[in-house]
Amino acid sequence: MRLPEITKVPHSPEFVEGVINPRGTAIPVIDLHKRFEIEQRDSTNDTRVMVLNVSDSLVGAIVDSVSEVLTFTEEQIEPVDRLSVTISAEYITGVAKMEDRLVILLDYEKGLGAQERVEVDSMLAGVAG
């Protein structure tokens, strides 16, 4: 979805921008640049919020842009342990092979770890209460 107005929540974790309320459901929104300590970029007309299902809870992730939505078969995905990579593979589930390119697949379950999930859940409880 296009970047909506995000309501700030006091005392939220550094990487949490706040919450959005599409269709009456409070969804925490995380900034992936902050979460993965990547250089910040200004929001543009291409900036989007991807709504993800993380451990049976909805979480919004701010991304620079979304160019397309792809579906992969298991046969197209090469597991990380079989790849020779020099970057940390902690947050990568694999690499999908397409005809003319490779797509790195982010493990968003690990991207929002157990401690971060507790912090976000606690923040949401304060918003609902």
The CA-atom distances, in angstroms, between 113 and each of 66, 81, 109, 126 are 24, 20, 7, 20
User: What CATH number has the domain bearing residue 93?
Assistant: 2.40.50.180
Distance CA 57, CA 103 (A): 25
- Regarding pTM above 0.85, the answer is no
Distance CA 1, CA 127 (A): 22
Residue 51 covered by a domain = yes
Residues spanned by the domain of 89: 16-128
Residue 28 covered by a domain = yes
Closest residue by Cα to residue 21 from 55, 63, 58: 58
**Which mean pLDDT values do the consecutive 10-residue runs of the chain (129 residues) have?**
90 88 88 82 89 82 88 85 57 83 79 64 60
